[in-house]
Amino acid sequence: MAAGIAGAGLGLREDLAHAKEEGHYMHQECGAEKSKYFDKLPLEGVSATSSVDTHIDLIDGKLVASVQGIAGLQETITVPRSNPTNIVFRNKTDGEYRLVASLGSKMLTDGVKEDVVHCTQLIPQGSEQLLILNIPKPAEAGKPFTLTVPGLTGQSIEVIVP
Amino acid sequence: MRHQNTTEHVTSGVNRLAGMRRRVVAAVSGVAGAMFLAGCATNAPQDTWQPKGPNAKIIDDLQKPVFAVAGIIGVIVTVAVIVAVFKFRDKGQPIPHQSHGNPALEITLTIIPALILTVVGVFTFRTVFDLAKTSDTEMIINVTGQQWWWEYDYPVQNEYGITQPIITSGQLVIPAGTKVLLRQTSRDVIHSYWIPALNGKRDAVPGRVHLNRIEADKPGIYAGQCTEFCGLSHANMRMEAVALSKADFAKWVANQLKPYTSPAENTLAKEGETVFMNQCVRCHQVNGMKRADGTPVIAAPDENMVSGAAPNLSHLMSRNTFAGATFDLLNKSCREDVWTADSESFGDKYLSGVNEDCLNQKDLRGWLRNAPAMKPMYANPALLTSTGGKYRGMPNLGLTEADIEKLVAYLLTLK
Amino acid sequence: MAIIERSITSTEVFSVATPSSSLGALKRPVSSTGWKSWLFTVDHKKLGIMYSAAALFFFIVGGLEAVLIRLQLAAPNGKVLNADLYNQMFTMHATTMVFLFVMPMAAGLANYFIPLQIGARDVAFPRINAFSFWAFLFGGIFLNLAWFLGGAADGGWFMYAPNSGPIFSPSHGIDFWALGLQITGIASLAGAVNLITTVLNMRAPGMSLMRMPIFTWMQLVVQFLLLFAVPVITVALFLLSFQRNFGATFFDVSAGADPLLWQHLFWIFGHPEVYILILPSFGVISEVLPVFSRKPLFGYPFVVFSGAAIGFVGWGVWAHHMFASGLGPVSVAVFSISTMAIAVPTGVKIVNWTMTIWGGKLQFTVAMKFAVGLIVLFTIGGLSGVTHSVAPSDTQQTDTYYIVAHFHYVLFGGAIFGLFSGFYYWWPKVFGKLLNEKLGNWNFWMMVIGMNMTFGPMHILGLQGQPRRMYQWTEARAGEGFFNLAFWNMFASIGSLVLTTGVLLFLINIVITARNGKVAPLDPWDARSLEWMTTNPPKEHNFDSIPTISHLDEFFHRKYEEDANGQMVKVKSAEQVLKDLEDNADAHIHMPSPSYWPIVLAAGLPVIAFGMIYSIPIAIFGGVIVLFGCYGWAIEPSTAPDDDFDPPVTTKDVVHVG
């Protein structure tokens, strides 16, 4: 106990303190390359099985959605607004890929528009990751919300928010 | 000895009551039995023993025999006890034979219920899987529960004429005789979707999607309520399933997809549109509404509501309830008309929507005047520190009577 | 072990002992009379009485909460309670009745009678016993303080997440609820360990497990259920408290949580919990029915094994509370079958009780009336339970008044009627007086009629679509006809007032009996089991000499023997049997001494809880009290030195010293 209390008094480990300042692990880096911190030791399994709305599978380079309750593979998914929706991305293709959700843009306090982008970590074949979407507004006309895989062109699932 | 006398005194005293008790028990049982048999409501809108769709019928076909068996066993046990009570009461007989049991009897009376339950179990097992089948789904509707109303969105399904997503709330409009699958979820806490005449209930849990089959045999309106405790106004979270014939459903879809028409200039309704754009669009969306400069109006309930959404009011007057189906848009006589219509005339009555003659002015105006007074929602900002100032339900906007007059006129144009 | 016997070395009879003075101001309490003797007692009988008195108080509180609910629901759009207050009321009604009435009342009966029924002088760990009581009392008070500190818990007794989280329930009510239940959970767990050890280790010589009174058997199963179920709710409550007070995200959906986790944890506790509530009452009537039928319990081994079977199978049915929660058809089907399975051992008991009274010589004292009432009413409740086990049917029934009807029949008609039977049966033993039978009859009939009037119509209300947990119902859903839902709601509310009158008559009976009740003879019911082989009330050390057991229903077999014709004839009176014990009194009886530490330790727990809600320094202070209490307790011997209690020289009252 004494050792533990003394340790707590000494503060965070050097590297953790540094990471905290720089925001290494909090920053999502959603490009096609492997990010040094965000993609370090990616989680490769998702224990949620019954609470998943949609599985997005990357099968041999093709992105498809299997939506719970809807038979067959889909290319669009419909998600209610402001609703936390669990999407599981499963990589069934050789190579490391991530799923990126482009959900329009939001207005920051200083009048600047910032793109809303969420993504999973980069995962190898056979792994899966969870992405929780919570989309506050429907898409602007002409600029649909999409799920894409950086590094693979033409693969996109549209996310419709009525 | 003193001990003996006390016991006898105690027991003989109660034996004197035996005769009187026999009469009382008989009388009470007779009255109780008669009341129970006669004692049901007719036309209870949420009666679980009056199935009006195939899923509810499957459940009813299973439950009625089980209730009958349970009833018979209950009568047998009650009669056995009553017979024992009278037959073996202390009439001064000697201490009875000190029987310690009869294993053969015990085992027999254990095996018989076990066998009955095995049969019930087999049928139950089959029915559970029967009801869980989704491979024959014909139509999909997403149902999202939120404190304290239900939202429905219809994903694009061209075979029903749904070329764009439709979003409504309160009354779930479905084509009769069609296997509809509801994909249920919630935005905040656990709710439960229950239309007793059509199927058993299924919880709507945030973060999960649950599948629930709804199918109505005939056109009509079927009542339901949220049946999982969800907070302050759980009692005020209702819904109805409205089944229309296939032709009528196509008409309904076409109406829902009709583009927005702004009211004519210089009318009370136009002024109401202005009030709406100033006050209501913070939370309520009306699809297709545009500002003066042509930009589309996108409501922002995610900024104002804890659970992030508010009912979409497009084509409001094509439904006839509001505020989580707690209040009727139709006044009493028009509502009677719709609810008691037979299956042939129901479609037309429902599709005629709400016009000025049928509007329930009192409840709608009351709602606009002070919604939290009509439905408890914690919309008092003083109690919202834990939610960062966001509302749980519609707040009291402090509208003037003039504003309310204009708004009602405007809302009536949302057909 | 707390109880030691040693042989006398001197002929001193009344030696006045004083406890060790090594602790100075922290001297051990010594009084055997007065309020201090109750505050610091470790005597299982005093604790049993205090448990029962506190439970009765909470019964009245819970009952008032119920009456308010029924008044609100008597008419549509009621105005008695607003929505917020109603939600608090039904949450607290259920919590109070389950955790603060039935469980402690059963604990009170267990505390008083288990040692007497097994021929022991106290329980295995008397100070832990005292701690359990005080922890329960302080936990129960703590829970109810929420009423005065911003509103009681309002999420339902099942407290589903995420509604129970800080965003949807911002007041402190649920914090008081969760922490209060943690404290009472600690009490129950300690009690379970205590009673299991007592029953397994301290039975009189010759009392094998299959010669043990049936009440003790049922309570033993209950203690095992508590032992394994309370830790589950403890975990669930910790997860909830940490989410509410320290920002954890166990049930936060946007962080990836699944709200069904709470449901599983709660019901894995919650289902065994309902068997914890009913088995003690099953035990009581299994004692009462044979006594007033003048024949033994039919099929004692079957009753024992079916009780144990219920204890086992009860762990495999929890998800029948979740049939509509979206588990998927495989889980639903499996739990449906297992729920049907558990109806079988319960049905066995009904057979046994009916066959006990069949062919007997039935004496309808009030205790017997309640016991017979239980058989019928519990059967009705159990059968509606069987209809719930059919999962598709349950998806129509769950969350409606049909379920409310089911559990009130099994809990009121079952658990509570059993407890009342126990009151009337055991009152002379505990207090030396007989409860008034005439008033008792009125009590019984008012309760039976009131209960059926209140909960009978709820079957109809539920099957015709009235959901539960709603602060108001509407005429739009009430149907037409004279006997529509409006009629039955009003009927049920009137019934609740009849029921209240019945309970009131019981309270009046207690007062009248205390003032000028009839003094009870030694063996008023000509009973069968060991607890009746003592004085009324029992002496502090229970038995002058521990009897050697050679039969089930040992007391009965000492009074009666079979003659040549196979008839039972009385060979000894109760007084004679008792005298035999007294004449062979043990030379030296060593009883555990009273102690401060249990109440000190128990008092620290709510302080920690307050700290968790309001301010951490208070919690640390509470922790210090607890540590201090543990330390003091640990270094204190179980009995004060030289605390001897010499056996009586005559059969008159003895002086207890120390």
- Taking CB atoms and an 8 Å limit, are A69 and B167 in contact across chains? no
* Chains touching C by CB (3 or more pairs below 8 Å): A, B
pLDDT per position as a tens digit, C561-576: 988 888 889 999 999 9
pLDDT per position as a tens digit, C165-199: 988 888 899 999 999 999 999 999 999 999 999 99
Q: In what order do the strands lie in the sheet with B171-175?
A: B171-175, B238-244, B220-225
Across all residues in chain C, what is the average pLDDT?
A: 91
Residue type at C231 in one-letter notation: P
Which has the higher per-residue pLDDT, C625 or A140? C625
What pLDDT does residue A25 have? 66
Q: Sort residue A99 into left (φ over 0), alpha (ψ -120 to 50) or beta.
A: beta
What pLDDT does residue C20 have? 46
Do the beta carbons of residue B269 and residue B263 sit within 8 Å?
A: yes
The stretches in chain A having pLDDT less than 50 are: none
What pLDDT does residue C355 have? 95
How far apart CA A102 and CA A80 sit, in angstroms, is 16
* Chains touching B by CB (3 or more pairs below 8 Å): A, C
Strand partners for B241: B172, B222
How far apart CA B37 and CA B34 sit, in angstroms, is 5
DSSP 3-state of C124: coil
Give the chain A residue whose CA is nearest to the CA of C258: A51
Enter the tokens of residue B366.
């009351």
What pLDDT does residue B8 have? 46
Residues 6 or more apart in contact with residue C588 via CB below 8 angstroms: C5, C6, C7, C8, C644, C646, C647
* Chains touching A by CB (3 or more pairs below 8 Å): B, C
pLDDT above 90 covers a percentage of chain B that reads: 76
Do the beta carbons of residue C513 and residue C436 sit within 8 Å?
A: yes
DSSP B185: E
What pLDDT does residue B342 have? 92
How is C374-387 classified by DSSP, letter by letter? Answer: HHHHHHHHHHHHHH
DSSP C548: P
Q: What confidence category does residue B384 fall into, taking pLDDT thresholds of 50, 70 and 90?
A: low
| Chain C environment of B62 (Cβ under 8 Å) | 390, 392-393
Q: What confidence category does residue C31 fall into, taking pLDDT thresholds of 50, 70 and 90?
A: low
pLDDT above 70 covers a percentage of chain C that reads: 93
Q: Does residue B209 belong to the interface with chain A, where contact is any CB pair within 8 Å? A: yes
C10 pLDDT above the threshold of 50: no
How far apart CA B111 and CA B67 sit, in angstroms, is 20
Residues 6 or more apart in contact with residue C124 via CB below 8 angstroms: C1, C2, C194, C197, C198, C201, C202
Average pLDDT over residues C527-549: 93
B379 pLDDT above the threshold of 60: no
Q: What confidence category does residue C642 fall into, taking pLDDT thresholds of 50, 70 and 90?
A: low
Strand partners for A123: A97
Residue where the block lists tokens 């008991």? C349
Give the chain C residue whose CA is nearest to the CA of B86: C362
Do the beta carbons of residue B368 and residue B280 sit within 8 Å?
A: no
Give the chain C residue whose CA is nearest to the CA of A82: C254
Interface of A with C in 25-44 (CB under 8 A): none
Average pLDDT over residues C378-391: 96
Choice among A112-126, C416-430, C525-539 with the minimum mean pLDDT = A112-126
How is B9-32 classified by DSSP, letter by letter? Answer: HHHHHHHHHHHHHHHHHHHHHHHH
Give the chain A residue whose CA is nearest to the CA of B142: A80
Q: Where are the beta strands (DSSP E) in A4-161?
A: 54-59, 62-67, 76-78, 85-92, 100-107, 113-119, 128-133, 145-148, 156-160
Q: What confidence category does residue C463 fall into, taking pLDDT thresholds of 50, 70 and 90?
A: very high
How far apart CA C116 and CA C541 sit, in angstroms, is 10
pLDDT per position as a tens digit, B163-217: 999 999 999 999 999 999 999 999 999 999 999 999 999 999 999 999 999 999 9
- Taking CB atoms and an 8 Å limit, are C452 and B117 in contact across chains? no
Do the beta carbons of residue C154 and residue C91 sit within 8 Å?
A: yes
Which has the higher per-residue pLDDT, B79 or C653? B79
Average pLDDT over residues B333-358: 93
What pLDDT does residue C552 have? 93
| Chain C environment of B207 (Cβ under 8 Å) | 253, 256-259
Interface of A with B in 55-84 (CB under 8 A): 68-71, 76, 78, 80-84
How far apart CA C486 and CA C497 sit, in angstroms, is 17
For residue B182, give the H/E element and its range: strand B180-186
Do the beta carbons of residue B371 and residue B393 sit within 8 Å?
A: yes
How far apart CA A161 and CA A144 sit, in angstroms, is 9
- Interface size, chain B vs chain C, as Cβ–Cβ contacts under 8 Å: 358
What pLDDT does residue C18 have? 42
What pLDDT does residue C574 have? 92
- Taking CB atoms and an 8 Å limit, are B39 and C483 in contact across chains? yes
Bond preceding residue B148 cis, omega within 30 of 0: yes
Q: Does residue A20 belong to the interface with chain B, where contact is any CB pair within 8 Å? A: no
How far apart CA C419 and CA C437 sit, in angstroms, is 17
| Chain A environment of B135 (Cβ under 8 Å) | 71
What pLDDT does residue B31 have? 52
- Taking CB atoms and an 8 Å limit, are A136 and B144 in contact across chains? no
Enter the tokens of residue B280.
């209501």
B39/chain C closest Cα distance in angstroms: 5
What pLDDT does residue A30 have? 84
What pLDDT does residue B125 have? 96
Do the beta carbons of residue B56 and residue B201 sit within 8 Å?
A: no
Q: Does residue A86 belong to the interface with chain B, where contact is any CB pair within 8 Å? A: yes
- CA C377 to the chain's CA centroid: 19
Please choose, from the candidates B298, B318, B330, B327, the residue with its C-alpha nearest in 3D space to the C-alpha of residue B394. Answer: B327
Which has the higher per-residue pLDDT, C385 or A61? C385
Q: Sort residue B43 into left (φ over 0), alpha (ψ -120 to 50) or beta.
A: left
Interface of B with A in 146-165 (CB under 8 A): 151, 153, 155-156, 165
Choice among B1-15, B90-104, B308-322 with the minimum mean pLDDT = B1-15
Do the beta carbons of residue C577 and residue C555 sit within 8 Å?
A: yes
Please choose, from the candidates C236, C313, C324, C234, the residue with its C-alpha nearest in 3D space to the C-alpha of residue C272. Answer: C313
B7 pLDDT above the threshold of 50: no
Q: What confidence category does residue C502 fall into, taking pLDDT thresholds of 50, 70 and 90?
A: very high
Q: What confidence category does residue B9 fall into, taking pLDDT thresholds of 50, 70 and 90?
A: very low
What pLDDT does residue C653 have? 42
Enter the tokens of residue B334.
């028009």
pLDDT per position as a tens digit, C272-311: 999 999 999 999 999 999 999 999 999 999 999 999 999 9
- Taking CB atoms and an 8 Å limit, are B206 and A84 in contact across chains? yes
Residue type at B91 in one-letter notation: K
- Interface size, chain A vs chain B, as Cβ–Cβ contacts under 8 Å: 82
C160 pLDDT above the threshold of 90: yes
Look at the alpha carbons of C388, C389, C393, C394 in this order and tell me if their dihedral is positive or negative.
positive
What pLDDT does residue B16 have? 52
C648 pLDDT above the threshold of 90: no
HEC per residue, C561-627: EECCCCCEEECCCHHHHHHHHHHCCCCCECCCCCCCHHHHHHHHHHHHHHHHHCCHHHHHHHHHHHH
Choice among A73-77, B314-318, B407-411 with the minimum mean pLDDT = A73-77
Do the beta carbons of residue B209 and residue B187 sit within 8 Å?
A: no
- Taking CB atoms and an 8 Å limit, are B181 and A69 in contact across chains? yes
What pLDDT does residue B24 have? 52
Average pLDDT over residues C317-330: 94
- Taking CB atoms and an 8 Å limit, are B142 and A160 in contact across chains? no
pLDDT per position as a tens digit, C394-405: 999 999 999 999
What pLDDT does residue C429 have? 96
Q: Pseudo-torsion of CA C203, C205, C208, C211, nearest 10°?
A: -90
Q: Does residue B301 belong to the interface with chain A, where contact is any CB pair within 8 Å? A: yes
How far apart CA C599 and CA C128 sit, in angstroms, is 10
Across all residues in chain B, what is the average pLDDT?
A: 89
Note the ipTM here.
0.90
How is C428-452 classified by DSSP, letter by letter? Answer: HHHHSEEPPHHHHHHHHHHHHHHHH
What pLDDT does residue C236 have? 97
Residue where the block lists tokens 């999502």? A28
How far apart CA C422 and CA C285 sit, in angstroms, is 8
Enter the tokens of residue C514.
């205390």
Give the chain B residue whose CA is nearest to the CA of C164: B189
| Chain C environment of B114 (Cβ under 8 Å) | 344
Q: Provide the residue count of chain B.
A: 415
Residue where the block lists tokens 């037959």? B87
How far apart CA C179 and CA C163 sit, in angstroms, is 17
Q: What confidence category does residue B380 fall into, taking pLDDT thresholds of 50, 70 and 90?
A: low
A47/chain B closest Cα distance in angstroms: 14
C136 pLDDT above the threshold of 60: yes
Q: Does residue C620 belong to the interface with chain A, where contact is any CB pair within 8 Å? A: no
Please choose, from the candidates C593, C596, C574, the residue with its C-alpha nearest in 3D space to the C-alpha of residue C656. Answer: C593
Residue in C350, C363, C566 nearest the CB of B14: C363
Please choose, from the candidates B227, B132, C327, B152, the residue with its C-alpha nearest in 3D space to the C-alpha of residue A51. Answer: C327
Choice among A115-129, B32-46, C85-99, C333-347 with the minimum mean pLDDT = B32-46
Residue C215 CB burial class (10 angstroms; 0-12, 13-18, ≥19) = buried
What pLDDT does residue B182 have? 96
**Please, what is the angle between helix C616-635 and helix C597-613, to 10°?**
160
Bond preceding residue C205 cis, omega within 30 of 0: no
pLDDT per position as a tens digit, C51-96: 999 999 999 999 999 999 999 999 998 899 999 999 999 999 999 9
Which has the higher per-residue pLDDT, C101 or B24? C101
What pLDDT does residue A15 have? 76
